[in-house]
Chain A
Amino acid sequence: MEVTALDNFDLRIADGEFICIVGPSGCGKTTLLRILAGLELPTAGAVDITRRDSGRPLTSMIFQETSIFPWLSVRHNVAYGLEMRRVEPATRNRIVDHFLELTGLARFADAYPHQLSGGMKQRVSVARAFANDPEILLMDEPFAALDEQTKITLQQELLKLWSETRKTVVFITHSIDEALVLADRIIVLSGRPGKLKADIAVGFARPRLVQELKADAEFGRLWHDIWSLLRTAGAAS
């Protein structure tokens, strides 16, 4: 059976922008991301990504579930994309060490995933995608399965990592809070089939601190607006 997941969807993303996509369950968010990742083909339409450097991969995805390889050590998990692209070992080690350091994983470089907590595992996933240095980073609710405190810590770390690399990011989430904390722009989708409902600029100054953003009056106002949009989106759940 074929299901129309996305309909009449047109989105332009500037280089270095942090986009969050929110929408009710089943609005085609994950389908959109999988199309961008090259894991699924759109039945109609096209995705154009301008490549600045032919040696770089187009996208790297951070998945919602645990997707790091249990048979590889943390170091080799982070190096995975670089190894697949046959980046020479010296360069590869330098890049991997850099991101292990930035994500606080340096001490666990030789550990295997079964020895790590859920938050640590997602840090490995984040480091793996950043180390691959793609044109666009795709994140499919990467923190959804984590507890609240770990989630906030990882959001803060992602903000720091992003401010240092300025990657183009497409981040999917259920959480309005998370979208407001992270994004430059929030795309609100309506329910099945997914259509673009609103495109909201988030103007909070960077660098951002999660706990201060949440105390901001503007944060509450935007939260309220987006919630109203989602409720009228029909299939809000």
Chain B
Amino acid sequence: MTTLEEVQVRIVGQAPGTSGLARRLMRSSLLKAIASPLLVLVIWEMAVRCGLLDSRFFPAPTSVFAELFRLLQSGELLGDLGWTTQRVAIGFLLGAIPGILLGLALGLSPLLNALLLPIIGAIYPVPKIALFPLVMMFFGLGETSKWAIVAIAVFFQVFFSTLAGVVNIDPIYLDVARNFGAGRWQTYRSIALPAAMPYVLTGCQLGLGMALIVVVVAEQFGTKNGLGFLIWRSWQIFEVRDMFVGLMTVALLGSVLQFLMIKLELRLVRWKSRPNPPSLV
């Protein structure tokens, strides 16, 4: 007879919180994310102060921030931000809604597809900014022409994404809809739109990016407000600090809009399994 020695297996987890502040900071993804931009700013600041960089072209970050606060206090910056946001929002809706509707219609109707896709496809390759003079001739120099050019830019992104979404619907879902007696409109609402929704939202995200590009250029003409105007004017009067403030604010607006789109996607497409949920940062 042999005696069996008792074997014990212990699984020990490391207790959290013992690693010290420094190590926790090292691990923090937020810190990693801001470390390198911060370093660039510090080097930039020092380079300007030592005279290595010409402050007329590269104003010191501290002076840019001072200008930012001045523009915030005078209300100028918030006014410009408000105008640009409004133009993007109105133009986006004017472009996205027809984009979704036509994308669904052309995706499900071979007849409409054959009739309309050639026209849309012919206009698509024209750089949208190149259409702006024509748009101004139609709609004048005012707000309408800015909404219109943003709408055109957004439309194509949303339209083609939606169309791709509908074309990629698994045919079995359309079979089910037919077998269960869904009419044309019911099929649009119950199958085409929800099935294409992830594509639609990708199109909207790309569309927002395009909208910002287009609006900043459009604000060069026939207006005295908006972030685009701020940037172009600072170029004309050689006020580089204002230019940096304008660029920073546009970038911030873009990030906020993308953040809102991701929030919207998480809400509207709850049904998707997500091995890698979209990051909110």
Q: Which residues of B are found within 8 Å of A81, using beta-carbon distances?
A: 180-181
A39's partner among B179, B269, B272, B273 (CB-CB below 8 A) is: B179
A61-B176, A63-B176, A114-B272 in contact; A71/B197 too (CB < 8 A)? Answer: yes
Q: For the complex, is B172 an interface residue (Cβ under 8 Å from A)?
A: yes
**Total contacting residues, chain A, CB less than 8 A:** 25
B178-205 to A contact mask, C-beta < 8 Å, 1/0 = 1111110010001100110100000000
Q: Which residues of B are found within 8 Å of A128, using beta-carbon distances?
A: 180
Shortest Cβ gap from A53 to chain B (Å): 15
A72-B271, A84-B190, A114-B273 in contact; A67/B173 too (CB < 8 A)? Answer: yes
B271's partner among A59, A60, A112 (CB-CB below 8 A) is: A112
Q: For the complex, is A16 an interface residue (Cβ under 8 Å from B)?
A: no
Shortest Cβ gap from B133 to chain A (Å): 43
Name the prevailing secondary structure of the B interface residues.
helix
Whether the Cβ atoms of A112 and B270 lie closer than 8 Å is yes
A116-129 to B contact mask, C-beta < 8 Å, 1/0 = 00000000000010
**Total contacting residues, chain B, CB less than 8 A:** 22
Q: How far is the CA of A80 from the CA of B181 in the complex (A)?
A: 10
Shortest Cβ gap from A44 to chain B (Å): 22
Shortest Cβ gap from B108 to chain A (Å): 16
Smallest Cβ-Cβ distance to A82: which chain B residue: B180
Whether the Cβ atoms of B180 and A69 lie closer than 8 Å is no
Whether the Cβ atoms of B178 and A84 lie closer than 8 Å is no
Q: For the complex, is A37 an interface residue (Cβ under 8 Å from B)?
A: yes
Q: Which residues of B are found within 8 Å of A132, using beta-carbon distances?
A: 180
A38's partner among B178, B190, B273 (CB-CB below 8 A) is: B178
**13 extra interface residue pairs, beta carbon distance < 8 Å, beyond A69-B190, A70-B271:** A39-B178, A59-B179, A60-B180, A61-B175, A67-B172, A67-B176, A69-B176, A69-B191, A81-B181, A84-B177, A84-B181, A112-B271, A115-B273
9 contacts between A and B (CB under 8 A): A37-B175, A39-B178, A61-B179, A69-B173, A71-B197, A71-B269, A81-B180, A84-B177, A132-B180
